[in-house]
């Protein structure tokens, strides 16, 4: 009886009643889940030299991570996960503009923390694979575990077009899936449909830039690699590519 009473008091003290705080915490948790799975899929592929994963398994990990993340926070924050999606909702007047910078900050922070967690999880593997160095290019580079880098042949204009089209496909697809006036997805299966959409985009338009589609997903981990020792090259325009 005493234990039950203590737990009830603890729950009452820990309960968060402020709606904005609840939404931010939900969004943070969802991005953490998203990025932990996504980056770990990349880390497993890269550090094993493809023996314990390949580009398809990495894409699959990212798509399934989206599904889990939406289930994690969809009922609280809407599980935006992506500043581009938050912006689209603002433009459609379905999300208040004053919340936009708050959500972007939370999403980017969650991605940064997730990158740190994956680095800790795969620390030995990353160091072993890179022979003790943290490289952004060359045969033993490990920066691509955390952020996306364009192909050597890609121009700035083509890269810009690639991201506009890829992100546009993502936003249009999500809006179509969640539109109640459209041919509906069975209730509760919307995250599965979005995950399949992400997988379809990744396997079709992912070769140019690695298919980031999410500014927070790319910038947060990229900022972490800069801080963790990969250096300023993660932000530099190198050999005609960004």
Q: Answer yes or no: is pLDDT of 1 > 80.
A: no
Which residues sit opposite 241 in a β-bridge?
238
Q: Is residue 61 part of a domain?
A: yes
110 or 156, greater pLDDT: 110
Q: Is residue 211 part of a domain?
A: yes
SS3 3: helix
Q: Is residue 24 part of a domain?
A: yes
Q: Is residue 11 part of a domain?
A: no
Q: Answer yes or no: is pLDDT of 242 > 60.
A: no
What would the pLDDT profile of 147-168 be if each residue is shown by its tens digit? 988 888 888 888 889 888 999 9
Given a contact cutoff of 8 angstroms between Cβ atoms, the answer to whether 78 and 190 are in contact is no
The range of the structural domain enclosing residue 47 comes to 18-235
Which of 5-14, 169-178, 179-188 is most confident?
169-178
Q: Answer yes or no: is pLDDT of 16 > 80.
A: no
Q: Answer yes or no: is pLDDT of 120 > 70.
A: yes
| Whole-angstrom distance, CA of residue 206 vs CA of residue 15 | 42
Q: Answer yes or no: is pLDDT of 241 > 50.
A: no
**Phi/psi at 91 (nearest 5 deg)?**
-65, -30
Cα dihedral value 201, 206, 208, 213, nearest 10:
60
| Whole-angstrom distance, CA of residue 40 vs CA of residue 209 | 19
Mean pLDDT of 121-150: 90
Q: Is residue 184 part of a domain?
A: yes
Q: Answer yes or no: is pLDDT of 240 > 50.
A: no
Q: Is residue 10 part of a domain?
A: no
Measured CA distances, 40 to 112, 136, 199, 201 (Å): 14, 18, 17, 20
pLDDT reported for residue 12: 62
160 or 118, greater pLDDT: 118
What would the pLDDT profile of 54-105 be if each residue is shown by its tens digit? 999 999 999 999 999 999 998 898 899 999 999 999 999 999 999 999 999 9
Q: Is residue 161 part of a domain?
A: yes
The model's pTM is 0.89
Mean pLDDT of the chain: 88
User: 68-105 in b/e burial notation, b at 16+ Cβ within 10 A?
Assistant: ebbbbbbebbbbbbbbbbbbbbbeeeebeeebbeebbe
Q: What is the CATH number of the domain that holds 164?
A: 1.20.1080.10
pLDDT reported for residue 213: 86
Q: Give the confidence band of 109 by pLDDT, cuts at 50, 70, 90.
A: very high
Q: Is 57 exposed, middle or buried (0-12, 13-18, 19+ CB in 10 A)?
A: middle
Q: Is residue 2 part of a domain?
A: no
Domain count, the chain: 1
């Amino acid at each position: 009886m005493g234990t039950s009473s203590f737990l009830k008091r603890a729950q009452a003290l820990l309960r968060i009643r402020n709606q904005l705080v609840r939404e931010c915490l939900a969004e943070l948790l969802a991005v953490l889940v998203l990025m932990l799975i996504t980056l770990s899929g990349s880390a497993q592929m890269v550090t094993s030299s493809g023996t314990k994963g390949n580009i398809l398994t990495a894409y699959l990990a990212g798509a399934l991570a989206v599904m889990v993340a939406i289930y994690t926070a969809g009922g609280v924050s809407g599980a935006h996960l992506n500043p581009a999606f938050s912006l689209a909702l603002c433009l459609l007047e379905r999300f208040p503009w004053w919340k936009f910078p708050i959500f972007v900050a939370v999403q980017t922070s969650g991605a940064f923390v997730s990158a740190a967690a994956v680095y800790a999880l795969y620390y030995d593997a990353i160091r072993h694979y890179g022979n003790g160095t943290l490289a952004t290019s060359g045969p033993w580079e490990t920066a691509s575990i955390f952020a996306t880098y364009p192909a050597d042949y890609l121009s700035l204009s083509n890269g810009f077009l690639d991201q506009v089209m890829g992100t546009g496909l993502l936003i249009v697809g999500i809006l179509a899936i969640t539109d109640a006036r459209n041919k509906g997805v069975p209730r509760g299966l919307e995250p599965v449909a979005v995950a399949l959409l992400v997988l379809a985009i990744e396997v079709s338009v992912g070769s140019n830039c690695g298919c980031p589609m999410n500014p927070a997903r790319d910038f947060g981990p990229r900022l972490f690699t800069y801080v963790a020792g990969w250096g300023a090259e993660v932000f530099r325009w190198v050999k005609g590519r960004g």
